[in-house]
Structure 1
Amino acid sequence: MRYLTILLFLLTFAIGCKKDDIKTFDGRDGISFYSRFSSDPDSTNYSFALQPTFKTKDTIFIKMRLVGKPSGVERGIKLKAMAGSTARPNVDYILPEVKLPANAVFVNYPLIVFNTPEMLNQSFKLVLGVDPGSELISGAAGIAVDQSKNFAQMKVNITNQLIEPDYWQNISFFFGDFSVVRFKFMVKVTGLTNFDPNVIGFSEMFLIQVNLKKALSDYVQANGPLIDEFGNQITF
């Protein structure tokens, strides 16, 4: 009888709970920076010195995605420089206001950067965040089930010096750890300034590696070992 009483109580309670009693989240939709893999850093490097032709300005496309529900209308995205930024607004960069297209989840934000004289000797950091006045607010950070990751902020390093490209970890197997001496040697031998495997393809990497080994062997015979700025001997 005691079990029957409990069962009747539970049934009565379940019937008494109306659908309207169930609480759901009803917050504003947001927008976040993101990377495809959770191990990717929340930063990117850009150098005018690594571009194939001289540029006075360029556009860096920053990946962002919706945190919330797609909408049938486009919605505005405004970014701002956050604490820790050293880049100068309207001198080193411009942050245009853009729209997330209707029914879209992803957008590439076009950060405009300028090649200023000071960049020959220093690097400027821009810490990007979503402006509180943006129609789409700052979305929640975290890791999704596909191991992609959302960031509340994105750090962009801008310079005209030779710095390690973002893609270098994908080609270090072929060419070794990054150094300015190594990179300059590669540029001199190949005539290339961009070794991104998405641009030249992995199949070409083997041929470039062979040519670099031959060129380095000739260099060593004529000049002795090629030493980088860290005191390490260059090999391929």
Structure 2
Amino acid sequence: MKTIFHIHKIQFLSIFLLLIMASCKKEELRYEDKAGIYIDKEKIVGVKDSTSYSFAEKAGTLMLDTIYIPVKISGNMSPVDRTVPLKVDESLTTALAGTHYQILETKIKANEITGRVPILLKRTADLKAKQVRLYLKIATSAEFPLEIVNTKTNSTFSGEPAGTYVPGYLIKLSDQLLKPDTWDATGSWFKLFFGTYSATKYRYIIDMTGRIVWGPRARDGAEAPTLEQMYIYYAKLVSALYEYEKINGPMIDETGNQVTFPKL
């Protein structure tokens, strides 16, 4: 009788465990079926969590410009369009809606999983004296009820994602000459051709080349220079600096260091 009871007990426990596992799987499927959406930072060139945008690097007549925020859904595609719930975190934002920026309504098209949200940036007089911050985040909505807190990088280390992205995205907006975010990024032509950044050097580069729009890393996007142009700029800068130093001595930047360019 003891042996029979023991077998029945094992059978009961086995059935109980199977029921729990089935319940977990059912819950898991329901979780995966929920639609979510997140900022697709793998599509962002250079710094993934923020960008500094300065109208000072653009033509003086440019009063409006647009930054596109890539987004991607999790879960299944939909047979209908769905509105992207990209919002502003007011607690982390100093930019004024309608004055400094406008978020243009965007939809993920039917049977698609990606989209781009246009953020219209506006040039205002106060941006010459200060930098404002615009912190974007994805909110949940009836169409995207699943909150996605963090996303993983596509690159891996020992079989695991190499890093994690935080959910929000920061735009730092001004009309002042600032260091490009991608100056020190991997593969940056800024770093390769111009070396260590300083504001004095950057102003000298702009004055000598006449170029104010460089694109990310000075090599990405339609506005970026070609490799041939970069070599021409480099030769011009080195030659002009040599002539400057013959008359004035070393050019000293705002940190007290001499302005130099790397040897290629």
TM-score normalised over the length of structure 1 = 0.84
In the alignment, the residues of structure 2 paired with residue 217 and residue 187 of structure 1 have an alpha-carbon distance, to the nearest angstrom, of 17
Whether the aligned pair in 2 keeps the contact of 1:123 and 1:157 (CA below 8 Å) is yes
Residue aligning to 1:35 = 41
Q: Which region of structure 1 is more displaced relative to structure 2, 115-124 or 38-47?
A: 38-47
1:142 equivalent to 2:157? Answer no
Residue aligning to 1:26 = 30
Measured after TM superposition, the shift of residue 40 of structure 1 is 3.8
In the alignment, the residues of structure 2 paired with residue 229 and residue 98 of structure 1 have an alpha-carbon distance, to the nearest angstrom, of 43
1:222 equivalent to 2:247? Answer yes
Residue aligning to 2:158 = none
Residue aligning to 2:130 = 122
Measured after TM superposition, the shift of residue 117 of structure 1 is 0.4
Whether the aligned pair in 1 keeps the contact of 2:57 and 2:212 (CA below 8 Å) is yes
Residue aligning to 1:151 = 166
Alignment gaps of 5+ in structure 2: 156-161
Alignment gaps of 5+ in structure 1: none
Greater relative contact order, per chain length (Cα 8 Å cut-off, separation 6+): 1
SS in 1 for 2:30: coil
Residue aligning to 1:211 = 236
Residue aligning to 1:197 = 219
Pair 128,37 (structure 1): closer, same or farther in 2 beyond 3 Å: closer
Measured after TM superposition, the shift of residue 19 of structure 1 is 9.7
Measured after TM superposition, the shift of residue 53 of structure 1 is 5.1
In the alignment, the residues of structure 2 paired with residue 121 and residue 18 of structure 1 have an alpha-carbon distance, to the nearest angstrom, of 62
Measured after TM superposition, the shift of residue 149 of structure 1 is 5.1
Aligned residue type for 2:107? K
In the alignment, the residues of structure 1 paired with residue 176 and residue 47 of structure 2 have an alpha-carbon distance, to the nearest angstrom, of 23
In the alignment, the residues of structure 2 paired with residue 219 and residue 59 of structure 1 have an alpha-carbon distance, to the nearest angstrom, of 38
In the alignment, the residues of structure 2 paired with residue 220 and residue 74 of structure 1 have an alpha-carbon distance, to the nearest angstrom, of 62
Measured after TM superposition, the shift of residue 144 of structure 1 is 3.8
Identity %: 26
TM-score normalised over the length of structure 2 = 0.76
RMSD of equivalent CA atoms: 3.1
Measured after TM superposition, the shift of residue 177 of structure 1 is 2.4
In the alignment, the residues of structure 2 paired with residue 154 and residue 207 of structure 1 have an alpha-carbon distance, to the nearest angstrom, of 36
In the alignment, the residues of structure 1 paired with residue 30 and residue 104 of structure 2 have an alpha-carbon distance, to the nearest angstrom, of 29
